[in-house]
Structure 1
Amino acid sequence: MNVRQNMMSLSIIALLTVSFAQPSFAATTPFTDLTQSGAKDKILALQQQGVIKGVDDGKFAPDEKITAAQGVQLIVNAFDLSLAAIRFVKAPQATDFFSKADNDAWYAESLIIAAVNELELPADLDPNAEWTKEQFIHQLMRVMETKGNLPMIKLVPVEIQDNHELTVDYQGSIQRALSRGIIHLDKENKLHPQKAITREEAAEMIYHALAYLKNHKPLT
């Protein structure tokens, strides 16, 4: 479906977007379960900016794995993606884009926003499936580079010891993420691309991505 060919009244857009999460700068209670987290300061900074939220009662659950739906929502919120510039003939539903989605689920709005903002998400995306590190990195880089209108860069590929585990379509995104300092390899120069990504890892990548955009002016 070419979503940009559909037209919708501004009143419908308003109804759809009013409930979408936007960054909030209200005072918050710092997460209390980050004592052992090496990304504690970055996570708390994102919390204060309203970019990320906890799971409940001041808990961030840094070691918890994230699903595709949660990963999409993190990216949508972090980069303020919305439907503001899109018009449709009728209100879209998540199942218009993703066959396995639930139109009544908490993630439905985020999936719609992601789809119309042209994230490279498969039509058979399972919102409840755990996302791997390489899947999250690929989507994060796509949105970051588009949002920041970043220039192409000449890469000297970094040697990744577990490069054989990478999905071919994600290799470029991962190399660019390494070059821009969004991600780092471990002490053995491994990425562990097929490992399910944790909330801590995702938050730290988002922190680096937003910091990079802040320090690099977009192309004009």
Structure 2
Amino acid sequence: MVSKRVFAALALTALVLTSGCLGVLTGEESLRFESEPATTDATVASNAGYETNGTQTFEVNRTFNVAGQEPRVVASNHITTYEKKIDLGFFEAKLGVFSVISTPAVDVAGETLNPIGDYSNDQLVGLVESQYRGLTDVERVSSRNVQVLGEPANVTKYSAKATFANDRQVDVYVHVTKVRHDEDFIVAIGVYPQQLGGEEDNVLEMMRSIEHPSEA
């Protein structure tokens, strides 16, 4: 089933530091970073038929061996997921999913250590595909720009196959975008069945209505 687990893959890989960044880490004490929660406007989500169970926090810990020392970096990420029950005729389930992930940039000594900042939309959707076996055959369809948190954001649309409950496979569209806002990177992903052409407008409007920080 396409659910929070799909998008948690991004949050849980948010602190894979590269060897080129390790030189800025010194000392034995932990460096702690926490993102501000991000959501979409509750009225916009409700009008589109989406419901949320709230915001979850995912903490990532990494300890490194640098020049004989072992500094530890702790990053707290937030993910808010919205789901929509959709009836396709042959079965009904929560087939519409929209998620907003906030992950700290992790700025240390003038360097941004969170690799999500360098990821393209293709790499982001590829990360989800590689971490979640229920999403396969991802192919780019188109791209467009929308305003997210006051910034122009490129939204890429992909076609894919998603496996839901009872091993039912559905052709879906996946929309992915990312922006930096204040000290965090914000990633938004929407998934819905391809036969629901009008659902794209709902996903784009929820992206435009992202709030950060939110009172999650």
TM score, norm. by length of structure 2: 0.32
Q: Which has the higher helix share?
A: 1
Q: Which has the higher strand share?
A: 2
